[in-house]
Amino acid sequence: MGYESPKGEVNMYQGLFYEITKENIENPTVIRAPVSISNGLAWNKANDKLFYIDTPTNKVVEFAYDDENGRVSAENRTAFDVSQHSDKITGHPDGMTIDEDDNLWICLYGGGAVIKANPVTGELLKVVPIPARDVTSAMWGGPDLDILFVTTSRHSLNEEEKLQQPGAGSVFAITNLDFARVEDVVLLKQYIIKEHKMLQTTEESRRALGRCFLSI
């Protein structure tokens, strides 16, 4: 990643995507260059595919992965392109995780949502709105690994936006994901993010938002 200014502006094409092993730790292998903002990494269940995000490209790309020696292929293909679904989602892909069905869960920085995508077909399967514009990373947790924990940022928000998005900067825990419907959550996303009509809250409720459970 290139230099990031205090305003969050990043110099493009100044970064590298490395493969580091105990053998090459003094001279890591460059997998892809140049890149701008390296983010999400995820491996499929068979451990033969590596998914990777360079945020400004708006794409998740897939590399072949050799689990025996940890090698990543030089060639890649686009597994999911956020730009192809601009009628339903906005923002840029940031952090990412994968589920037991090898579907990707991608955080949308600037888009106020986590999305579920099929990396084989490129299909957008689900949109889960988050009451914060900048969604940064996600990971499965809980006793049954069925709760999606999602982090958000408030770093780039101005004072008015912080009041409109009191949950920004919180960690959210999302349950009941099997029952979410794209039609419902897209409407909610438009309400929260595009219209900026979130209700003002008391200081007490804002503190409570630091640990939020979203039951979809």
Where does residue 154 rank: exposed (0-12), middle (13-18), buried (19+ CB within 10 A)?
Answer: middle
Q: 162: which DSSP letter?
A: H
DSSP bridge partners of 116: 105, 126
Residue 38: count of CB within 10 angstroms of its CB = 17
Pairing outcome for strands 171-175 and 147-153: antiparallel
Contacts of 103 (CB under 8 A, 6+ apart): 116, 117, 118, 119, 125
Residues 66, 67, 87, 94: which is the catalytic one? 94
CA distance 110 to 27: 35
**94 known ligand binder:** yes
Would the annotation count 103 as a binding residue? no
94 among known catalytic residues: yes
Per-state percent for the chain, helix, strand, coil, to nearest 5: 15, 45, 40
Reading phi first (left if > 0) and then psi (alpha if -120 to 50, else beta), residue 205 is in alpha
| Binding site, annotated residues for a divalent metal cation | 39, 94
Q: Hey, which residues are catalytic here?
A: 94
